[in-house]
Amino acid sequence: MTTKNLLVELFVEELPPKALKKLGEFFAQAIAESLRSQGLIAGAALVCTPFASPRRLAVHVERVMDKAADQQVEVKLMPASVGLDADGKPTQALLKRAAALGIDLAAVGADALSKRLDGKAETLFAKTTRVGLTLPEALQKALEEALAKLPIPKVMTYQLADGWSTVNFVRPAHGLVALHGTEIVPLGVLGLAAGRTTQGHRFEAAVSPIVIKDADSYAAQMASEGAVIASFDQRRADIVRQLAAAAAKVGGDVQPIEDAALLDEVTALVERPNVLIGQFEENFLEVPQECLILTMKANQKYFPLLNTSGKLTNKFLIVSNISPADPSTVIGGNERVVRPRLADAKFFFDQDRKTTLASRVEKLGNVVYHNKLGSQLERVQRVKKLAGEIARQLKADSEQAERAAYLAKADLLTDMVGEFPELQGIMGRYYAAHDGEPAAVARAIEQHYQPRFAGDALPDDNIGLAAALADKLDTLIGIYGIGLVPTGDRDPFGLRRHALGVLRILAEKGLPLDLMQLLQFTRSLFPGEMLADSVAQDVHGFMLERLKNFLRERNFEADEVESVICQNPTRIDLVIARILAVRAFRKLPEAAALAAANKRIQNILKKTEAPAGQADVALLQERAEKALFDAVTRLTPNVVSQVDNCDYADALTSLAGVRAEVDAFFDEVMVMTDELLVRNNRLALLKQLGDLMNQVADISKLAA
């Protein structure tokens, strides 16, 4: 068997840029992994290099054999009762089954058969040699599987050159290269036969077509002869380098805007990048920079340049796919293209400011929020009341919170947001400031959408926090209440995101708000018949499940999280403090025994309901139960006081002092005695002890 490096390239028309990186990585990994699973990779390590440019997907795989080794395998045939006759000889059914699997029992003999139980039946197995696949066979399978499973955003159907056949792929394919060392691997897909020729840069290739000498020369030949940097990662790194160099050339300590998604998209649009510097008229800088940045990034794929203060300059960087000797024509063309875009943004901004946000609010009555939940204006009225209530609980200016909530959705009716929906909230802040609204109100209009995504910033004052909480709580109660509950990966209204946003605000900002009370108040703002009465409770449970995930991602142990969350907390700001106290408690030497005792108490009380009230000292008989009663009586005031003062770690440490009495009680006292009054009294004592031990968390969850 010969081992050489392998190259596979599929040459196609321009691939979708936002998907190119993922397509390239999947194509390479799928082919390499398939070859390894088929036994074609020598050695334990899998070394493959992906290539992806606008017009090609390729992979280079090291140490690929031309044929997989033969393998001794055991094949399941059929039940012995069917395969052997009374004399133990193969039946016709067995011979046919073996022949179908390529096993010649006449040649290898019945001795090659073995019998053993498979489930309840004694089954026949045969040892045989599985001939290793050749590279063309294995690569054909690997390539077909890779193309079939490629994460294609949208499939195209196109006709082949014969005029009759049609194939489905992301874009029409025009060439296939498959080289094992210097040799062509004979295979075909998408109506193409493998060869060694491909195409370079559409305009700047030095040679056309390019004849690939061997698998290892691919990247070098594409660069020197084809003017193509085939590696996505190398091309991306080259763009980063050129962007920094161009910014330094502009001077004035400017930097290109950081945007990983834009960088990936631009990398997918060019085969050999050439960064150029463009500019626009300074009067456009009167428009909010968010508008200009968005239009340059979204529509033109430019990199705006910002100064050290983060302010937009009138310079921008173009990543061109061509490198003419005189770039002025390319630069001038891009400047002419961007100018109307910026002029549109300026026009929208100027026109929008002629109408105040407040005068737009009533028009939200014509905008449907959801056909089961009414208009955006009805939603605004609910959010306004809720924001005011939250602000009052936070001792913030409720009038400003209500004003921010009232105006928060008005910018949806502006021309700028109509053109760029990503600017909702941002434009509301600008327009509110222009209308003379208080600074806190204008800021809250933008911040009421925060956090928009995982890791996003939170509102920075109580006015913004009240507006943000109100907006998200209204969405959660309303959308969840009409039955649009997230399922699997489907969450079209972003309820998981809204839930996590509320939880992050309450926890990270330490807001002393009761989540259940907020949910119930939110429910009360909807018409009585619109939503089920249980929706507040249902949403609370839904949010606690999100809270569990949030806490586990912060490296809290699952049982620590469960010990607190199982008690259905409503003060989210106190949850992390409780979990930290549990973490400290479990390090105490008494922790394991008390957790086990707590679990035992809960198991007893599940089977027999304890009577109401406290244990009666007059009914205590055994020394151990009297000692436990005294310990519980002594500890209760201290523990309750510590919990009330949020001294959770101290409360759990205090509980550790009752271990000796608990151990003695379970060693010496029969709880389920025949005497009814004594039994009920002991159950009541256990109930008192359990309630005391679970003031902070259900420590039985820590038991092994």
Q: What is the mean pLDDT of the chain?
A: 91
Stretch 491-501: mean pLDDT, rounded? 94
Stretch 47-55: mean pLDDT, rounded? 96
- Rounded to whole angstroms, how far apart are CA atoms 273 and 277? 13
Per-residue pLDDT at 108: 54
Per-residue pLDDT at 316: 97
Q: Which helix (H) or strand (E) holds 183?
A: strand 183-184
Per-residue pLDDT tens digits for 274-304? 999 999 999 999 999 999 999 999 989 999 9
Per-residue pLDDT at 390: 97
Per-residue pLDDT tens digits for 634-654? 889 989 999 999 899 998 898
Distances (CA, A) of 169 to 34, 54, 173, 198: 20, 15, 8, 19
Print burial letters for 159-172: b (CB count within 10 Å at least 16), e (below 16): eeeeeeeebebbbe
- Rounded to whole angstroms, how far apart are CA atoms 559 and 582? 10
Per-residue pLDDT at 112: 67
Per-residue pLDDT tens digits for 2-47? 899 999 999 999 999 999 999 999 999 999 999 999 999 988 789 9
Residue 560 predicted with pLDDT over 90: yes
The answer to whether 666 touches 600, Cβ cutoff 8 Å, is yes
Residue 84 vs residue 579, higher pLDDT? 579
Which of the four pLDDT bands, split at 50, 70 and 90, describes residue 513?
very high
- Rounded to whole angstroms, how far apart are CA atoms 503 and 507? 6
Stretch 235-246: mean pLDDT, rounded? 97
Stretch 554-567: mean pLDDT, rounded? 92
In percent, the amount of the chain with pLDDT more than 70 equals 98
Which of the four pLDDT bands, split at 50, 70 and 90, describes residue 476?
very high
Per-residue pLDDT at 106: 63
> Taking the C-alpha atoms of 386, 392, 395 and 397 in order, what is their torsion angle to the nearest 10 degrees?
80
Neighbours of 623 (CB within 10 A): 12
- Rounded to whole angstroms, how far apart are CA atoms 20 and 43? 30
- Domains of the chain, with CATH numbers? 3-66+134-224 (3.30.70.100), 71-130 (no CATH), 236-352 (no CATH), 368-555 (1.10.3210), 586-702 (1.10.730.10)
Residue 253 predicted with pLDDT over 80: yes
Neighbours of 363 (CB within 10 A): 14
Per-residue pLDDT tens digits for 88-124? 788 888 878 877 777 766 655 556 677 788 777 888 8
Secondary structure string (H, E, C) spanning 289-314:
HHHHHHHHHHHHCCEEEECCCCCEEE
Per-residue pLDDT at 109: 57
Residue 169 predicted with pLDDT over 60: yes
Stretch 435-454: mean pLDDT, rounded? 95
Residue 550 predicted with pLDDT over 80: yes
Per-residue pLDDT at 283: 94
